Amino acid sequence: MFDNEFEIVYLIGLVVGSVIRKIHTRHYWKNKVAFRGRTLADSLLVGVASVGMILPLFDLFSPWLDFANYRLPGWAGWLGAVVFVAALLLLWRSHVDLGRNWSVSPQIWESHTLATGGAFRYVRHPMYAAHWLWALAQALLLHNWMAGPAMLVCFLPLYLYRVPREEKMMLDHFGEEYRAYMRRTGRVIPRFWT
């Protein structure tokens, strides 16, 4: 069923990432929304991004994508495993640091506070950074031209659409506090100097 150990690493990481998200979704429905920023385009782009995580399952559990298989050197798979662990740790940490501020879609809760500690100390969007690391790891772990880079390709439109809208929403809500936060942090690449 599996061509190499890196496919198993990917599958384990997919399960761990799904569990992280599920655990932190349980309180989501209890918050009262002050501003809802979800649009039809947002919903469609989430669907497109999801394809980048579903397509690997076709590679792993069916022969449908075998025509696109290739081989990378072993070190690439091990690097992918390390990057995937970093992605999952950052995904977990960003959920913990956001706490009750986290939401599935762009919105502001009535009790919303600006998260600036933990992973948010150096980067404004650590959850997106985690997904970029996941996408890179997927490309290194899955040696298939369709499944490997699928998340890199499918996540990009959501990222490009959502991040500017989320930052505008935060500026509208938090004003100068968020503007100052933007000056001392990177968007998805950490800024260690201020």
| CA-CA-CA-CA torsion sign (135, 136, 141, 147) | positive
Mean residue pLDDT of the chain comes to 91
* Position 92 in a domain: yes
Query: What is residue 14's three-state secondary structure?
Result: helix
Which pLDDT belongs to residue 33? 63
* Position 88 in a domain: yes
Q: Can you give the CATH number for the domain in which 163 is found?
A: 1.20.120.1630
Question: pLDDT tens-digit profile of 71-130?
Answer: 999 999 999 999 999 999 999 999 999 888 887 777 787 788 899 999 999 999 999 999
Banded pLDDT at 24 (limits 50, 70, 90)? confident
* Position 189 in a domain: no
Question: pLDDT tens-digit profile of 38-50?
Answer: 788 989 999 999 9
Question: Which of 3-12, 17-26, 105-114, 123-132 shows the lowest mean pLDDT across its residues?
Answer: 105-114
- Asked if residue 124 lies in contact with residue 185, where contact means CB atoms within 8 angstroms, the answer is yes
* Position 81 in a domain: yes
Which pLDDT belongs to residue 89? 98
Total tally of structural domains belonging to the chain? 1
Residue 4 has which token pair?
């190499």
Tell whether the model's pLDDT for residue 2 goes beyond 70.
Answer: no
Tell whether the model's pLDDT for residue 194 goes beyond 60.
Answer: no
- Angle, CA of 22, 120 and 170, to the nearest 5°: 85
* Position 113 in a domain: yes
Write out the residue range of the structural domain in which residue 141 sits.
5-184
